[in-house]
Structure 1
Amino acid sequence: MSILICGSLAYDNIMVFPERFKDHILPDKTHMLNVAFLVPEMHRNFGGCAGNIAYGLQQLGATPLPMAAVGADFDRYAERLDELGISQAYVLRDDDHFTAQAYITTDLDDNQITAFHPGAMDQNHRNVVPTDGTVAWGIISPDGKQAMLDHSDQFKSAGIPHIFDPGQALPMFNGDELRGLVANADWLTVNSYEWEMIVKKTGWTRGEALAGLKGGLIVTHGGEGSKLLTADGEADIPAVRPERIADPTGCGDAYRAGLLFGLERGWNPVDAARLGSLMGSIKIAHNAPQGYSLDLNDLTARYKTEFGSAMPA
């Protein structure tokens, strides 16, 4: 069966400024800031949370269904999805908008200035979660606000287990909205900063958050690994040491692809989170969110080496 990934399909425009922002920004002039950075190096990558998670699932051999709204400039991305064999059955085309785009400029100190244009993404509420029994699992990743609210209710009404992964969309929601989104979900996945934001907005303790989740809570801590919490207790998921650090963009999406793959197959959640950790490590060793490829035999062998047990079938 399929895994429905509600979120964005986007182009990531990555520019490298071969100097330091701080050398060109005068602290006493920030009230009238007017700067230009020459960026001789630029890359345009296929991205967006729905696209990145779908790519990871496709590499693992799953059947991903990205659900996203895209614009008039989507043709090249559509060709790539066709080449990968990823269905576009739930990709809504709106030619009155551009596809979502991120413009990220990085300096020599790895500081970043990012501008994000949502474009057609804000139309994704026009997509509806299918109820024909073809979808086994789902995830709500960063998207237009109304789409995230609607798809959450639709997953619950259809009885489809799903992950709520608010990510950078978290600031859009108030405490009551977050309580409802978490109550509808089976799993909540956040990084440590996002978890603190949820606590501040909802007033919850971890126990109170877990009480509303059928599965559990995963809090990631970057290179320090992640923590999996359920009603039965806690488990520490170690970070897998990468072969090299090339590009962190999309590591969280790769983690979620591994997690979804395991949960859809009925694995113990610890094993699913371990696969997520391994996927994140593989991704960070490659440039671009979808710049890695998997050999499943190598993946299985590495899983056993890293975690001391065989990867479930």
Structure 2
Amino acid sequence: MKTLITGSMAFDTIMVFEDQFKNHILPDQTHILNVAFLVPGMTRHLGGCAGNIAYTLKLLGGKPEIMATVGEDFGPYSRYLDEKGLSSTHIKVVPDTFTAQAFITTDIDNNQIIAFHPGAMNFAHQNKIGDASDIQLGIVGPDGRDAMIEHSSQFKALGIPFIFDPGQGLPMFNGDECMTFLDEATYAVVNDYESQMLLDKTGLTLEQLAAKVDALVVTRGGKGSEVYVDGSMFEVPCAPISAAVDPTGCGDAYRGGLMFGLTSGKDWKTSAQIASLCGAIKIEHSGTQNHEFSLQEFSQRYLTAFGEALVF
């Protein structure tokens, strides 16, 4: 059985600002903001939430299927997917468009400023969930607005369990639309900022949001994550790291790990711990798809981090 991952495929340009943003932004002058950040370090990576999630899920032995729309410049990314054994069957090239592009600037505190050009992603609603077969679990990740709405509805209509993961797409939806997503979804995963945005948009508490899905996961960066399931909440700590090199894509790696756990029949605690370790391994590497590990290496780090054996 396969995992269907809907969301963005993108080229990520990552720049490092060797200072703190707060030292260069005057709070009382934001109405005339005009700030330039000197970024000596710059790299270009293959990314996008769907690609990033699929990459980590594949490392764990999962069977991801990516569903996305891309531009005519997608050739190098397509060849890379072939090399990694990742299927392009449900990736549609839209003529006369660019693949989505993210321009990410990170300061020394790991704060980020991101500019995003959606490009072909705006046509993602042309893809239909029903075109994929043998799907065990899906995810509605950040994508074109119409695509997120339609894919959520299609997953629900087909009876396929799926995760609602709005990410950077959350500001596109009002409270009623967010409630519809939660009514249709099986699970929801958000970071701490997105969780607060959901609370503001819906007027509900985290416990009330959690009651609308089978499980709600809130990631809180260096503070670990919270899992709301079966009417209660438990916390999962971050796995230890050697160094915090680049936070870009850590959330996607976490989701890849979580989906692997769920599709492998693991309980929520184990699944969230797998996810935590995936995020920890990713943050030790620059870029969103440059981390690697063998299953033996992963199992050893899991044992060290959580004091429990992990059987694949």
TM-score range, shorter chain: over 0.9
CA distance in 2, matches of 1:131, 1:250: 28
CA distance in 2, matches of 1:58, 1:154: 25
CA contact (8 A) 1:131 1:158 kept: no
The one-letter code matched in structure 2 to 1:81 is L
SS at match of 1:168: helix
Unpaired runs of 5+ residues, structure 1, are: none
Q: Which residue of 1 aligns with 2:267?
A: 268
CA distance in 1, matches of 2:264, 2:129: 21
CA contact (8 A) 1:267 1:312 kept: no
SS at match of 1:180: helix
RMSD: 2.1
CA distance in 1, matches of 2:304, 2:20: 40
**Deviation by residue 1:182-221 (Cα, 9 ceiling, x = unmatched):** 11111111112211111111112233323321x2111111
The question of 1:161 aligning with 2:155 is answered no
**Residues 171-186 of structure 1 aligned to structure 2 (within 5 Å):** 171-186=171-186
The question of 1:82 aligning with 2:77 is answered no
CA contact (8 A) 2:106 2:112 kept: yes
CA contact (8 A) 2:54 2:256 kept: yes
Q: TM-score, normalised by structure 1?
A: 0.93
**Deviation by residue 1:134-158 (Cα, 9 ceiling, x = unmatched):** 1111111111111000000010111
Of the structure 1 ranges 196-205 and 131-140, higher mean CA displacement relative to structure 2 is found in 131-140
Q: Which residue of 2 aligns with 1:218?
A: 217
CA distance in 1, matches of 2:86, 2:186: 25
CA distance in 2, matches of 1:275, 1:261: 8
The one-letter code matched in structure 1 to 2:92 is L
CA distance in 1, matches of 2:210, 2:121: 30
The question of 1:10 aligning with 2:10 is answered yes
Paired residues, what number? 312
Tell me: CA distance 1:292–1:71, structure 2 relative to 1, closer, same or farther (3 Å).
Answer: same
SS at match of 2:208: helix
Tell me: CA distance 1:134–1:16, structure 2 relative to 1, closer, same or farther (3 Å).
Answer: same
CA distance in 2, matches of 1:193, 1:64: 27
Q: What's the % identity of the aligned pairs?
A: 51
SS at match of 2:209: helix
Q: Which residue of 2 aligns with 1:137?
A: 137
Unpaired runs of 5+ residues, structure 2, are: none
Q: Which residue of 2 aligns with 1:303?
A: 302
The one-letter code matched in structure 2 to 1:93 is V
